[in-house]
Amino acid sequence: MNNVYPEPVWTFPQEALEPCSSFFYVGPSPFSLTGVFLRLLQYHFSTPDNIEEPLLKDYIWSPSDKGCLPTTDYGASSSEESSVASQVVPGSRLLIRTSYSQDPAAAQQLPGLYVKREAFYTEGISLLDRSLPGLNSRGVYEGTEHQVNVIGAHSLICRGGSGAEADLLGQEVYFRMLHYQQVIKKDFQLGRLQAKSVSEVRQQPEQAKSAYYSVVRMEWAYVYRWLVIPEAPILKRLTTEFIET
């Protein structure tokens, strides 16, 4: 006996394209890049499948109103551990947030990753880098004077209850950013993005608990362009655009 299957009913096709992000329209900014690095770290540590270092497979971030509390309390140890693996506490919950959002309670939570924006500055664009003057799509003369390179950096601070923990977290974050820096650069309309360096492991003696940290430095740059459109002899209107370097 042959099975007969009814013909499916075809309806209107679903929209498969996702809407463009705000980066596509307005370009990056130092503040928005802080959010980019924060979300990338949270996504990476949201599942063990993303984590490359076997000793960090249990270091998971999950959203919570009070952050992610560690399951193990760190205390000052009088003797140094003989094994690197024994200094990494399994089952630890990661706290991931911006550096300026710390409160006294959160500052004592270990391990943790913190995103800190460093200073940024502008630099003139050479004649070879400037786009040719002309009319844009709105019929406005752009010229070549109102555009600069915006250059800056972010520090991704990796804190742990031991030197080994801070060291491994720093390496995990650095190589994650190194592997995907070209993808991140393209997705977020940056002219340059580079995982520059990882600092040595340092201790924070002022903390109540024994704390160590390493710093991953991310350097970036993009072209910022603006237009001053005359509307009256005195009043003018300002609009901004961006291009990739």
Would you list the DSSP string of 169-230?
HHHHHHHHHHHHHHHHHHHTT-SEEEEEEEPPPEE-TTSSS--EEEEEEEEEEEEEEEEEEE
In a domain, 126, yes or no: yes
H or E segment and range at residue 112: strand 112-117
pLDDT tens for each residue of 75-85: 333 333 334 44
Instruction: Map tokens 């399994």 to a residue.
Output: 90
95 versus 170: the higher-pLDDT residue is 170
93 versus 67: the higher-pLDDT residue is 93
Q: How many domains does the chain have?
A: 1
User: DSSP 3-state assignment of 96?
Assistant: strand
103: which strand partners? none
Q: Is the separation of the CB atoms in 211 and 203 below 8 Å?
A: yes
In a domain, 73, yes or no: no
In a domain, 9, yes or no: no
Rounded Cα–Cα distance for residues 59 and 138 (Å): 50
pLDDT tens for each residue of 188-208: 889 999 999 999 999 987 665
**Count of positions (residues) in the chain:** 245
Please classify residue 159 by burial: count the beta carbons closer than 10 Å to its beta carbon, then call 0-12 exposed, 13-18 middle and 19+ buried: buried
pLDDT of residue 67: 44
The domain in which residue 122 lies consists of 23-64+85-243
- Taking alpha carbons only, the member of 164, 161, 136 closest to residue 239 is 136
Rounded Cα–Cα distance for residues 165 and 17 (Å): 41
In a domain, 33, yes or no: yes
206 versus 114: the higher-pLDDT residue is 114
Cβ count near 116 (within 10 Å): 15
pLDDT of residue 153: 97
Q: Is the separation of the CB atoms in 165 and 89 below 8 Å?
A: yes
pLDDT tens for each residue of 18-72: 666 666 667 789 999 999 999 999 999 999 999 999 999 989 988 764 444 444 4
Rounded Cα–Cα distance for residues 24 and 22 (Å): 5
In a domain, 15, yes or no: no
- The overall average pLDDT reported for the chain is 76
In a domain, 1, yes or no: no
pLDDT reading at 92 higher than 60: no
In a domain, 216, yes or no: yes
- Taking alpha carbons only, the member of 179, 172, 181, 187 closest to residue 220 is 181
Q: Is the separation of the CB atoms in 168 and 56 below 8 Å?
A: yes
In a domain, 118, yes or no: yes
